[in-house]
Structure 1
Amino acid sequence: MNYEGVLKKMQTENGSPIQYYLVFENDFLNVNQLLDKKVAINFLRYQCLNCGLQKKIYRQGFCYDCFFKIPQAADWVISPEKSKAHLDIEERDLEFEKRVQLEPHVVYLANSSSVKVGVTRKSQIPTRWIDQGAHEAIEIVEVPNRYLAGITEVALKDHVSDKTNWRTMLKNDIKDENLVEWRTKLRQYIPKEAAEYYLENNSETNLQFPVLKYPEKPKSLNLEKTPFYEGVLKGIKAQYLIFEDNTVFNIRGNEGYVVSITVN
């Protein structure tokens, strides 16, 4: 079987285990069905996710020109505390920014490589946790806009990490944590503006990833250096494909790359 298209982050469906899907323009693939099969990935060309042109990808699946122009790549996306739509201030496209920033957001704790704090739109739960490879997560506050979530995250990351160690996450070299206790401990550091939105009655969400074998020493596949790779798929976690020889391939990190995928 052969599939071809531009890579975008895998769509997911929470279950036991989580189901992963690669969606191309003319193809649709349930990646779980490829476990224990030989999969070949062949890099063909670039295709910017915004303009659709065959231009080298700069970041986040966008070419250089689009990355510095479109609202989907503005600073507030990575740094929510820089959001200004609640003040009616435009950065790149106020209509888009209001649509995204002025909807309910959640600040959460997730355990992927260790306990970390993060921000996402409420509508992206549990997708965001799945994409980060968290096996357990819990909400701390639910606020009406991205700015409040951002300043809460900034305050909390003085006391807990906001990063994921991807190697530790993929090796599954992690331990279970009591996230309810973590949430209670961090409550005192929530900014006054967000304090009324604290959540104290919800419980942890646990996630199960489809992995048959975790890599002992994960090595990342770089399509620019290795445009063709073939290996036996042993697992899927976060947005990574995990292969039998310890090679791991980050789908999210290769958005905008056009590939052919052959399954034997």
Structure 2
Amino acid sequence: MLYQGVLRKMRTENGNPIQYFLVFENDFININQLLDKEIQIDFIKYQCLNCGRERPIYRQGFCRSCFFESPAAGDWIMKPELSTAHLDKEDRDLEYEKKAQLQPHIVYLANSSNVKVGVTRKNQVPTRWIDQGAHEAIEIVEVPNRYLAGITEVALKAHVSDKTSWQKMLKNDIEDVNLVEWRDKLKTYVPEEVADYFIDSNAETHLEFPVLQYPEKVKSLNLDKTPSYSGILKGVKGQYLIFEDQTVFNVRANEGYYVGIGIM
């Protein structure tokens, strides 16, 4: 069976285990159903997620010009503390930025390879944690806009990491920690203007990924260097497909790549 389409990050449904879906324009694949099956991935062409043109992908699924012009790729995406919509100040498109920035945001702690702090829109919980491969997470602050979440993250990352080691995450080289204790320990570092939004009465969320076999070493599949690959799927974690030969494929990092996927 052959599917074709442009890659976007896998959609997920939280469950035991999490369900993963690769969605194309006119079809979708339930990735969980492919465990222990051989899959072939063939790179066909580029297709920018913004303009739809066949141009080399620069970053985040966008061609170079769209990356520097589209409001969906503004600097505030990666650095929420740069958000300015709450000041009625435009970066690239104020209407777009108001919709994205002026809504409830969560500052959270997640444990995927280590404890890290992060920011996401409230409606992206627990999707954001799943995408990062976190096996446990907890909300610590809920604020009304992205800017307040951003300055909180900046303040907290002086005391806790804001990075994930994707290799450790994929090898399941992790340890359980008490995120409630971490939350309480970091409370004192929350900025004064955010203190009233601190959450002090919730519990950890635990997540179960559909993985039959974790790799001992990881080798990342690069479609530009290896445009055709086949392997037996052994798991999905974060936005990675994990294969029996210890190859891993980051779907999200390959957004904008138009591929053929064959199921043997």
1:152-208 deviation line (CA, Å, top 9, x unaligned): 000000000000000000000000010000000000000001000000011000000
Counterpart residue number, 1:115: 115
How far residue 131 of structure 1 moved from its aligned partner, in angstroms, is: 0.1
Counterpart residue number, 2:44: 44
How far residue 115 of structure 1 moved from its aligned partner, in angstroms, is: 0.1
Q: Does 1:160 align with 2:171?
A: no
Between the aligned partners of 2:97 and 2:50, the Cα distance in structure 1 is 17
SS in 2 for 1:199: coil
SS in 2 for 1:261: strand
**Percent identity (aligned):** 72
Between the aligned partners of 2:15 and 2:232, the Cα distance in structure 1 is 23
User: What residue identity is the alignment partner of 2:260?
Assistant: S
Between the aligned partners of 2:216 and 2:27, the Cα distance in structure 1 is 32
Counterpart residue number, 1:212: 212
Counterpart residue number, 1:144: 144
User: What residue identity is the alignment partner of 2:103?
Assistant: E
Counterpart residue number, 2:244: 244
Q: How does 1:165-176 map to 2 (within 5 A)?
A: 165-176=165-176
Between the aligned partners of 1:59 and 1:158, the Cα distance in structure 2 is 27
Counterpart residue number, 1:60: 60
Between the aligned partners of 1:42 and 1:2, the Cα distance in structure 2 is 11
Counterpart residue number, 1:233: 233
Counterpart residue number, 2:106: 106
Between the aligned partners of 2:13 and 2:140, the Cα distance in structure 1 is 23
Between the aligned partners of 1:88 and 1:72, the Cα distance in structure 2 is 17
User: What residue identity is the alignment partner of 1:111?
Assistant: N
Q: Does 1:7 align with 2:7?
A: yes
SS in 2 for 1:68: helix
1:80-120 deviation line (CA, Å, top 9, x unaligned): 00000000000000000000100000000000000000000
Between the aligned partners of 2:260 and 2:47, the Cα distance in structure 1 is 13
Between the aligned partners of 2:185 and 2:261, the Cα distance in structure 1 is 47
SS in 2 for 1:142: strand
User: What residue identity is the alignment partner of 1:56?
Assistant: P
SS in 1 for 2:152: helix
Between the aligned partners of 1:25 and 1:207, the Cα distance in structure 2 is 29
Query: Scaled by the length of structure 1, what TM-score is found?
Result: 1.00
- RMSD value over aligned CA atoms? 0.3
How far residue 26 of structure 1 moved from its aligned partner, in angstroms, is: 1.7
User: What residue identity is the alignment partner of 2:229?
Assistant: Y
Counterpart residue number, 1:97: 97
Counterpart residue number, 1:32: 32
Between the aligned partners of 1:215 and 1:72, the Cα distance in structure 2 is 34
How far residue 27 of structure 1 moved from its aligned partner, in angstroms, is: 1.5
SS in 2 for 1:163: coil
Counterpart residue number, 2:192: 192
User: What residue identity is the alignment partner of 2:208?
Assistant: Q
* Structure 2 portions without partners, runs of 5+: none
How far residue 230 of structure 1 moved from its aligned partner, in angstroms, is: 0.4
Counterpart residue number, 2:255: 255
Counterpart residue number, 1:82: 82
Moved over 4 A (4+): none
Between the aligned partners of 2:95 and 2:122, the Cα distance in structure 1 is 19
Between the aligned partners of 2:109 and 2:257, the Cα distance in structure 1 is 32
How far residue 65 of structure 1 moved from its aligned partner, in angstroms, is: 0.5
SS in 1 for 2:48: coil
SS in 2 for 1:233: strand
